Chain A
Amino acid sequence: MTAVARGWGFDGPEPVWPIEVSGASKWFGDLVAVSDVSFRVGQGVTALLGPNGAGKSTMLRMLCGLTAPARGTVRILGGDPRRDLGLTRRIGLVPQQEVVFESLTAFEFVRLAGVLQGLDDPDAAAVRALGIVEMPVDDARPTSTYSKGMRQRVKVAQAIVHDPDVIVLDEPLTGLDPRQRLHMIHLFQRLGDDGKCVIVSSHVLDEVERFGSRVLVMVQGRLAAEGDFRAIRELMDDRPHRIRIRSDRPRAISSGLLDRGVVMGVQLEGADAAVVETDNVGHFRQAVADVARQVGAHLYEVSPLDDDLESVFRYLVGR
């Protein structure tokens, strides 16, 4: 679902970005975790991607003020999360580590979060938050006996109990089964549509494609790319698009496309398929149906081979 960022181009006073990072660097001893990263994140769902050890967790911790950048600034809702304690009222964090307070039940844990956030009615807020993540409210068992999936959902509940404006989630989908993951993704989308700023780090790329298409890719502590991943793919102009065409007459279609100069290279695959390479994917998309009709061929399948987020990721990581 292409996340149409709600209300672009608002022309009010100098707008305050939910997340604004400029020139942030962080190192532990001589290990440079994050080096000179700048970006802005608006409302809606943004995915933070990157190989293991790329500095994602460090960046998320800086966003919440859990650790200070050695250089550069991090602004959440206009304030400095490291100094301004009041900001924590409007930030929700789902940390990566699995451990929660072993002796508490789910309700007690989420209610504690509500109390510490200073809510008027922590009980009602806890009941609502647990309802959203589909967790029973009256489960008397302590969290130490919970499975990974249940623990993950309790962690999300404590992060949204105080209805924050910025929600940071560090690999929230690990350990969830397909049904729970689908439910959690819909939750993120709902929060994003509702004007919240949701930033999620994840490794499961085909799930991330479902959050929305806005991504931040970090590699070796630096920002490699930012924006809608399909737009990023367009920018990867030094790499031709490869598209697989299946038809009853693949040769006819390929030669038709070659004549129009829309396609640079063709590789036939078996009797009914051909993989074509084009550096101008816009023209190709306009021409392929027309050529098929011209040569009277049935067009069974047209699927880009490196248009998905995974190939964008491999491209950025591989550079």
Chain B
Amino acid sequence: MESHKLQINVTVNGQARSSQAGQSLDVLLRELQLDSRMVVVEHNGVIVRRPDLVETRLDEGDNVELVHFVGGG
């Protein structure tokens, strides 16, 4: 059952966050209300292309970086 899923600790953009083991990056983005077309995801130092976000799952201690384009010169 969903409710029994293991809680894990991950780091997202430098902030500690608890998540469920096996949660996909796609779901993480949705939880964060981020549009995957606007964001690039790096998972444990490896870029995850958009089609692979659904397949890529979080594990204990994972590090996720979510980046986008901001104003700069």
Question: Are A and B subunits of one complex?
Answer: no
Which A residues are within 8 Å of any B CB, using their own CB? Answer: none
